Amino acid sequence: MLTRDRIGALLMLAFSIFYWLQISDIKLLAFQADAAFTGRTIPEILAVMGVVLSVALLLRPGSDAKLEVTGFHWRRAALLCVLMIAYGLTVRPAGFLLSTSLFLICSILVLGERRVWVILVASIPLVVLFWALMTQVLGVYIAALPEFMDLSR
Amino acid sequence: MMEGILSGLSTAVSPINILMVSVGCFVGTFIGMLPGLGPISAIALMIPITYGFDPATGLILMAGVYYGAIFGGSTSSILINAPGVAGTVATAFDGYPMAREGKAGKALAIAAYSSFSGGTIAAILLLIAAPSLAVVSRAFQSTDYFALMVLGLTAVAAFAGKGNIIKALLMTVVGLMLSTVGTDKGVGVQRFTFGAIDLADGISFLLLAMATFALSEALMGVLRPKSDADRLREMEAQKNLGSMKVSRDEVKELAPVVGRSSVLGFFVGVLPGAGATIASFLAYGIEQRLAGPKKGAEFGKGSIRGLSAPETANNAACSGSFVPLLTLGIPGSGTTAIMLGALLSYGIQPGPRLFEENPEVFWSVIISMYIGNVILLVLNLPLIPYIARILAVPSTVLLPMIVFFSLIGVYFVSFNTFDIHLMVLFAVAAIALRLLDFPMAPMLLGFILGGMMEENLRRALSIHDESWSFLWERGLTLSILILAALILFVPMIVPRITAMLARRRETAGEGG
């Protein structure tokens, strides 16, 4: 029976085997040919441990509980992840103030908030305050404006 | 030692550090109150800010956040029966019934006084235990350190596994695997970087901590949203907290409970992996038995002893968990693991040398823990009705904020957008693992200890002419490894032996 523990075990087994296969890419220097300890030693031990423990979990799962994923808001969580990736792509070219404000506005909207004043108060003033705190008080330089408007470049 | 204490005292009571511990307690209380966000997330969220400070100030801020988060967790446990952290689950058993009876103010006051007393007694014990252990640990060699790290990892796996030790061990191995990504410090070759220059320095511990704790907890909140309406209804019901006065008779009744729970909590906290959660449940159970049939029956229905015991013990355990971190450089819990990561990024190696080379850091952290307790009592307690309003902020606003602070916290350290994308990847993986019921703390501990373990093992092998015999030839190393094996295997074997003996007894009974 494909229980929650067994699904976990299979995923861990796949990860451990993938990790094991990558070990051969670690270069060994000439003087390490007969060394007891090289850059591969610990990864090899870990890969073996990963495989052994995954097989142990597969054969002797702790419980018969099934994976419960019904009733989850998958779409919202996926959209939030997409927004995070987009934020990573835009934070430099669009500048901190614009990209962060947009990220917060879109995230709050994705989570179902529709009151405009709540969305605006929780995004723009917070971003400006945070930027001011970081740059003026803590002395961290953050490009506030989009690249094409930043005169210091 | 006296010189070190005085130097630590002068560092801890400097205006900037008093301000930091106050801010830490305050912010920690806010974050700790939010259901799902515990001290690990709270400290992780503060780390980027601490990079601008000197190590002592940074650590003091984090210690304040730690205490604040535990106190915040107690507050939401008492007021709305929603423990922010596992360590305060036992607090809700009697704290929430008290709040329902209209004694929320008294429950909060007892929780604060108990936390304060537990923290004070534990700080005194820490003052005695830490230097002694630091002196003893000077005799430790790299082989012993390697064994100690194995002990720490197995203990955390054993306690965090919640009955499934294999899963916890697997997560420890995953953490160790992730620690091997990047340039091998021993010989300078790249491992598991897939040719990406962004991975050449390895994965940042802050990134991993934020992604697997704060970010994944926020995403879990999006996946499985709890109704804001229930939370608001509870908040409305607790609007009038009632009197915060504790009578003389109650103080008399609680004094022995506090004394016992403090000592118990401290020693449980010292054990690697045990921590505040186990300490609080243990103290609750013991006090229920000691209370006798009449008072014991009140437990779970609003007993002041039942509230005080776990609150005292969890705070004392927090102090106790600093002992292995400060003296051996080995964290005993997920929270102290994240503090170790922060210390390492300051270029400070905790352990016996910290006691000698940076006495001001060592002592100022210990002293500021006590100051943190005072601040929680005099500042946070009267402000609780106002701080608790954060519980009224809708999750549609709160969750994006947590996501934003997590992302930006990591980005502001490296200014590399690759880190944001890597965080999303780790957060998604962490959610899958959470749904599959894998514990996260062993992974983080494995990740943080992985590099140090490898370095100590490499050094031990080079000292012993590349022979692995040091594992069984050196008495201390062997004893620690045997202890690790016992911690790992005894919980697996004992129930089976007990079941086998019971079966035999049954068969013998039937036969006779």
Question: CA neighbours within 13 Å on the CB side: how many for A7?
Answer: 15
pLDDT of residue B29: 86
Please judge whether A11 and B427 are an interchain contact, meaning their C-beta atoms are less than 8 angstroms apart.
no
Q: Decide: B206 and B410 in contact? Cβ < 8 Å.
A: yes
Q: Is residue A65 in some structural domain?
A: no
Question: Which tokens sit at B308?
Answer: 């005080």
On whether both A54 and A78 belong to a single domain, the answer is no
Which region, left, alpha or beta, applies to residue B118 given φ > 0 means left and ψ of -120 to 50 means alpha? alpha
Residue keyed to tokens 């605006």? A120
What's this model's pTM, rounded to 2 decimal places?
0.82
On whether both A79 and A145 belong to a single domain, the answer is yes
On whether both A19 and A82 belong to a single domain, the answer is no
Q: How far apart are CA A104 and CA A19, in angstroms?
A: 37
Compare all CA atoms of chain B with the CA of A15 and give the residue at the minimum distance. Answer: B174
On whether both A80 and A134 belong to a single domain, the answer is yes
For this complex, say whether ipTM is above 0.90: yes
Alpha carbon B38 to its chain's center:
9
Say if B512 is an interface residue toward chain A (CB within 8 Å): no
The total domain count for chain A is 2
On whether both A47 and A78 belong to a single domain, the answer is no
Question: CA neighbours within 13 Å on the CB side: how many for B323?
Answer: 31
Please state, as a whole number, how many other Cβ atoms lie within 10 Å of the Cβ of residue A146: 16
Q: How far is B273 from chain A (nearest CA, A)?
A: 20
pLDDT band with cut points at 50, 70 and 90 for residue A54: very high
Q: Is residue A130 in some structural domain?
A: yes
On whether both A86 and A145 belong to a single domain, the answer is yes
Compare all CA atoms of chain B with the CA of A13 and give the residue at the minimum distance. Answer: B170
On whether both A38 and A100 belong to a single domain, the answer is no
Task: Please report which helix (H) or strand (E) contains residue B191, including its range.
Answer: strand B190-191
On whether both A50 and A86 belong to a single domain, the answer is no
Please judge whether A49 and B173 are an interchain contact, meaning their C-beta atoms are less than 8 angstroms apart.
yes
Q: Is residue A88 in some structural domain?
A: yes
Name the β-bridge partners of B191. Answer: B182
pLDDT in tens, chain B (512 residues): 677 778 878 888 888 888 988 888 888 888 888 766 778 878 887 877 777 788 888 888 888 888 888 888 888 888 877 776 677 888 888 998 898 888 888 898 899 899 889 988 988 888 888 777 777 777 788 888 888 888 888 877 777 655 678 998 999 999 999 999 999 887 788 999 998 999 999 998 888 988 998 888 889 889 887 666 666 666 666 566 777 788 899 999 999 999 999 999 998 888 766 677 788 888 998 998 888 888 888 888 899 999 999 999 988 988 888 888 888 777 767 788 888 877 777 777 777 677 777 777 778 777 877 888 888 888 777 887 777 777 778 888 988 998 998 898 888 878 899 999 999 999 999 999 999 989 888 898 889 888 888 988 888 888 888 888 888 888 889 998 998 898 888 777 777 788 888 888 888 776 55
Angle (CA) B239 B245 B246, round 5°: 125
Q: Distance between terminal CA atoms of chain A?
A: 61
Nearest to B187 among A29, A84, A112 (CB): A29
- The DSSP output letter for B294 is H
- The DSSP output letter for A153 is -
pLDDT of residue B53: 81
Question: Which tokens sit at B136?
Answer: 């003893």
Residue of B172, B198, B222, B226 to mutate, testing the A interface (most A Cβ within 10 Å of its Cβ) = B222
Q: Is residue A47 in some structural domain?
A: yes
Q: How far apart are CA B25 and CA A63, in angstroms?
A: 40
State the burial class of residue B476 (Cβ atoms within 10 Å of its Cβ: 0-12, 13-18, 19+). Answer: middle
Q: How far apart are CA B328 and CA B144, in angstroms?
A: 11
Please judge whether B454 and A118 are an interchain contact, meaning their C-beta atoms are less than 8 angstroms apart.
no
Q: Residues near B281 by Cβ (< 8 Å), separated by ≥ 6? A: B89, B90, B310
pLDDT of residue B303: 92
DSSP string, B116-152: HHHHHHHHHHHHHHHHHHHHHGGG--HHHHHHHHHHH
User: What is the overall mean pLDDT for chain A?
Assistant: 89
Q: Which domain holds residue A82?
A: 74-149
Please judge whether B458 and A92 are an interchain contact, meaning their C-beta atoms are less than 8 angstroms apart.
no
Please judge whether B164 and A62 are an interchain contact, meaning their C-beta atoms are less than 8 angstroms apart.
yes
Please judge whether A8 and B222 are an interchain contact, meaning their C-beta atoms are less than 8 angstroms apart.
no
> Which residue in B65, B23, B29 sits closest to B44, CA to CA?
B65
Please judge whether B167 and A107 are an interchain contact, meaning their C-beta atoms are less than 8 angstroms apart.
no
Please state, as a whole number, how many other Cβ atoms lie within 10 Å of the Cβ of residue B428: 18
Q: How far is B212 from chain A (nearest CA, A)?
A: 14
On whether both A128 and A81 belong to a single domain, the answer is yes
Q: How far is B223 from chain A (nearest CA, A)?
A: 5
Determine what percent of chain B falls in helix, strand and coil, rounding each to the nearest 5.
80, 0, 20
Q: Residues near B138 by Cβ (< 8 Å), separated by ≥ 6? A: B352
Residue keyed to tokens 């009697």? B94
The pLDDT tens digits of the residues spanning A37-52 come to 888 999 999 999 999 9
Judged by DSSP in three states, B230 sits in: helix
On whether both A115 and A141 belong to a single domain, the answer is yes
Say if B222 is an interface residue toward chain A (CB within 8 Å): yes
Nearest to A111 among B396, B428, B435 (CB): B396
Angle (CA) B237 B238 B242, round 5°: 130
Nearest to A81 among B399, B408, B424 (CB): B424
Angle (CA) B349 B355 B361, round 5°: 75
pLDDT of residue B388: 72
- Ranges assigned E (strand) in B32-189: 182-183
pLDDT of residue A124: 93
Please judge whether A39 and B428 are an interchain contact, meaning their C-beta atoms are less than 8 angstroms apart.
no
Residue of B23, B146, B189, B411 to mutate, testing the A interface (most A Cβ within 10 Å of its Cβ) = B189
Residue keyed to tokens 């179902």? A112
pLDDT of residue B376: 83
Scanning B223-242 for CB atoms below 8 A from A yields 223-225
Q: Is residue A53 in some structural domain?
A: yes
Judged by DSSP in three states, A1 sits in: coil
Q: How far is A58 from chain B (nearest CA, A)?
A: 10
pLDDT of residue B217: 83
Of A36, A59, A82, the last residue of a domain is A59
Q: Residues near B33 by Cβ (< 8 Å), separated by ≥ 6? A: B72, B73, B75, B76, B84, B387, B388, B390, B391
Say if B434 is an interface residue toward chain A (CB within 8 Å): no
Please state, as a whole number, how many other Cβ atoms lie within 10 Å of the Cβ of residue B100: 16
pLDDT of residue A116: 93
pLDDT of residue A151: 57
On whether both A85 and A44 belong to a single domain, the answer is no
Q: Is residue A67 in some structural domain?
A: no
Compare all CA atoms of chain A with the CA of B434 and give the residue at the minimum distance. Answer: A8
Q: How far is A21 from chain B (nearest CA, A)?
A: 10
Q: Decide: B190 and B183 in contact? Cβ < 8 Å.
A: yes
> Which residue in B3, B2, B8 sits closest to B364, CA to CA?
B8
Q: How far apart are CA B392 and CA B396, in angstroms?
A: 11
Query: Can you say whether the dihedral through the CA atoms of B271, B273, B279, B285 is positive or negative?
Result: negative
The pLDDT tens digits of the residues spanning A130-144 come to 888 878 876 777 888
Q: How far apart are CA B102 and CA B239, in angstroms?
A: 10
Nearest to A108 among B163, B396, B421 (CB): B396
Name the β-bridge partners of B105. Answer: none
Q: Is residue A64 in some structural domain?
A: no
Name the β-bridge partners of B183. Answer: B190
Q: Is residue A90 in some structural domain?
A: yes
In chain B, what residues touch A28 (CB-CB under 8 Å)? 189
On whether both A44 and A78 belong to a single domain, the answer is no
pLDDT of residue B417: 92
Say if B19 is an interface residue toward chain A (CB within 8 Å): no
Please judge whether B173 and A118 are an interchain contact, meaning their C-beta atoms are less than 8 angstroms apart.
no
